[in-house]
Amino acid sequence: MLRRSRLIGALVAVFVFLLGAPAPASALAPDDRCAVRAPGASAAAERAVAAACKQVAAGVWYTWGGGHGPKPGPTYGQVDPTDPASEHDPERLGFDCSGLVRHAYAEATGSDILNSPASGQYYTHHAAERFTAAQGLAPLVPGDLLVWGKSWDLHHIAIYLGEGKMVEARQSGTKLMVSDVRLSGDYYGAVRVDTGPVTGHVFRTWGSGVWTKAEPSTRAARVYAFPGPTTIRVQCQKHAEEVTSDGYTNDAWSYLPDYKAWMTNIYIQGPAWLNGVPTCTF
């Protein structure tokens, strides 16, 4: 009995040791799986995640300006004059942040629906819903696009995976990666892409550097400046402050729901009062 008791005691000691022993380094490493990591995403959003993750698995580089060729896909980058780490980008086939997003959703939909830099992708008329920084990650699902910067200068974009993770083309000198979502700093919010047909009153702007405003007035706060002709959705229009610019005078302003902002009708292609667009009641 004594021998048996000693054997049992030894086994118990070994079991306790194993429970208290540190886990192998691999078990402690962060979980950087590039995959859909939460439910709720559309089939198209899941395909976009898969397309981005395929590039991660292939070890593709970040390249400044990469992914903005005539068609979606990796391209050789350029030297960023402000970033010494970009010196090898012209030798590397890859993506910048918005180039990766463009490629992922083109692969998911078969159409180049996000052919623009980060700001244009956030303000896309292919938007189902937008989320503020204050809402955090709770309402997000895989495939949503996260952006950083200010309303008029969104400088970075990434694809949400779920579980607080994202896939991104982050910066020169690194490869595409899975990262923890950075909610501190200048995180601005997120947008959910609607890959179906665009609904609503769709128009095209003209001119460059044209600002949208928080109210239908030239004195109101600036929201976003269109870098060039842009496709927009108009919810409604109203008569407000009269504006004279580029040889035109008009008091009609349109409300752009994707920007939560107003724009003088002067810079919207079409008649001074847009056909088929209702009058705003607010």
- At 30 the pLDDT is 55
Is residue 273 classed exposed, middle or buried when 0-12, 13-18 and 19+ CB atoms within 10 A define those classes?
Answer: middle
Taking the chain (282 residues) in runs of 10, the rounded mean pLDDT of each run is 43 42 38 94 98 98 98 98 97 98 98 95 93 97 97 94 98 98 96 92 94 97 91 96 97 96 98 97 96
Dist CA 190 CA 148 (whole Å): 9
Domain chopping of the chain, boundaries: 43-193, 201-267
Could you tell me if 265 and 255 are in contact, meaning their C-beta atoms sit under 8 angstroms apart? no
Rounded (5°) CA angle 147-97-131: 20
Residue 212 forms beta bridges with which residues? 224
CA 226 to chain centre: 17
Backbone angles phi, psi at 109, to 5 degrees: -115, -15
- At 32 the pLDDT is 86
Dist CA 80 CA 155 (whole Å): 14
Dist CA 98 CA 120 (whole Å): 9
Could you tell me if 250 and 264 are in contact, meaning their C-beta atoms sit under 8 angstroms apart? yes
- At 7 the pLDDT is 42
Taking Cα atoms as reference points, which of 227, 232, 229 lies closest to residue 262?
232
Dist CA 24 CA 260 (whole Å): 51
- CB neighbour list of residue 236: distance below 8 Å, 6 or more residues apart: 254, 255, 277, 278, 279, 280, 281
Active site residues: 97, 156, 168
State the DSSP string of 166-210: EEE---TTSB-EEEE---STTEEEEEEE--S---SEEEEB-SSSE
- At 189 the pLDDT is 97
Task: State the architecture of 43-193 in CATH terms.
Answer: Alpha-Beta Complex (3.90)
